[in-house]
Amino acid sequence: MCLLKNIICRKQFKLKKRSVLARYCEWYILYSIIGVLAKSPIAGVAYAPSNFSIILSAFGSTNEHIFKLIGNYKSEIFQKMFPFSNDFSKEGFVFLTTCAQPKSRGYIILKSNNYKTAPIINPNYLEHKYDIECTKKAVKVLKKLIDTKPFQKIGAKIHWPYIEECSQWRDEQGNNTENFLECLIRFCSMTGYHPAGTCAMGGQNDSNAVLDSFFRVNSIKNLRIVDGSVLPTPVSTFPNSIIAALADYASEIIQLTYPESE
């Protein structure tokens, strides 16, 4: 909400007094509901105590072009996931789930010694069985949630996309099997774009560490890295605030130690 306020206010009103600004924006967002940023599609976020989070997004239809750009979907898969995407009379909602601590590990390697050549980036999503298992667990929790009275009262039903390669994994009664769920997860998942760890910070004896604890690149003088790549493992779900805090911390370290440490 705060972020939305800031974005909309800065764009729409060039007022200087912050309190007036905040009031104006509250009114603007709550009552006028104008513009794409006036209403967040995220209706709620829940963290399961074990290992996954669930986001309830209040959109039933979504724009194919935008969603395909963000999710890197093939048209065919997108249309199976959102068969009514062009029909704005259809209501619905989407649950997104994510493993808080995924175990699959990707890599970045240099393709050549020419710095202009793009590196090879392989995120290796869903390579580790754990990531499949925790996503399956989340899907099962959501199925139970949809079966509860409040959701049944509004006629909620799960749309299981018909993916030919996965349908063979349903049992004779048409029920979901473990293999069916895994297949759907592999075909229909998209990334949350929260990678980390390619320039991990670590202690002196950590052979995987690229940086020391002052953000300095090991064995290279006068070079620091401050961004999401320094996190040794991905943070549970949303990383932006952590990265902002890291940047704040790094700027303090640099001010305190410069130039002695260089």
Ligand X SMILES: Cc1cc2nc3c(=O)[nH]c(=O)nc-3n(C[C@H](O)[C@H](O)[C@H](O)COP(=O)(O)OP(=O)(O)OC[C@H]3O[C@@H](n4cnc5c(N)ncnc54)[C@H](O)[C@@H]3O)c2cc1C
Known catalytic residues are 194
Question: Does residue number 194 form part of the binding site for ligand X (CB under 6 A)?
Answer: yes
Question: Does residue number 238 form part of the binding site for ligand X (CB under 6 A)?
Answer: yes
**Of 1, 45, 46, 70, which lies in the binding site for ligand X, with binding defined by CB under 6 A?**
70
Question: Does residue number 240 form part of the binding site for ligand X (CB under 6 A)?
Answer: yes
Distance in Å, CB of 238 to ligand X, minimum:
3
Question: Does residue number 227 form part of the binding site for ligand X (CB under 6 A)?
Answer: yes
Q: What is the DSSP letter of 236?
A: S
Give strand ranges (E) for the chain. 42-47, 52-57, 94-99, 107-109, 120-122
Which range of residues in 56-64, 112-120, 130-138, 236-244 is near ligand X by CB under 6 A?
Answer: 236-244
Question: Does residue number 246 form part of the binding site for ligand X (CB under 6 A)?
Answer: no
Length of the chain in residues, anyone?
Answer: 262
Which range of residues in 15-23, 115-123, 143-151, 234-242 is near ligand X by CB under 6 A?
Answer: 234-242
Give strand ranges (E) for 172-234. none
Q: Which is nearer to ligand X, 104 or 198 (CB)?
A: 198
Using CB under 6 A as the binding criterion, the count of chain residues that bind ligand X stands at: 9
Q: Which is nearer to ligand X, 86 or 240 (CB)?
A: 240
Distance in Å, CB of 245 to ligand X, minimum:
12
Judge whether 230 and 201 are in contact, CB under 8 Å.
Answer: yes
Question: Does residue number 138 form part of the binding site for ligand X (CB under 6 A)?
Answer: no
Question: Does residue number 239 form part of the binding site for ligand X (CB under 6 A)?
Answer: yes
Task: Return the residues of window 7-66 that contact ligand X according to CB under 6 A.
Answer: none
**Of 88, 115, 193, 258, which lies in the binding site for ligand X, with binding defined by CB under 6 A?**
193
Question: Does residue number 102 form part of the binding site for ligand X (CB under 6 A)?
Answer: no
SS3 label, residue 231: coil
Written as six digits, the tokens of 130 are: 């754990």
Written as six digits, the tokens of 253 are: 């370290």
Q: What is the DSSP letter of 248?
A: H
CA–CA gap between residue 251 and residue 117 (Å, rounded): 31
Written as six digits, the tokens of 38 are: 């006036």
Q: From 194, 82, 181, select the one nearest 141 (Cα to Cα).
A: 181
Q: Which is nearer to ligand X, 133 or 227 (CB)?
A: 227
Angle (CA) 1 82 53, round 5° = 45
Q: What is the DSSP letter of 119?
A: P
Question: Which positions touch ligand X (CB under 6 A)?
Answer: 70, 193-194, 227-228, 238-240, 243
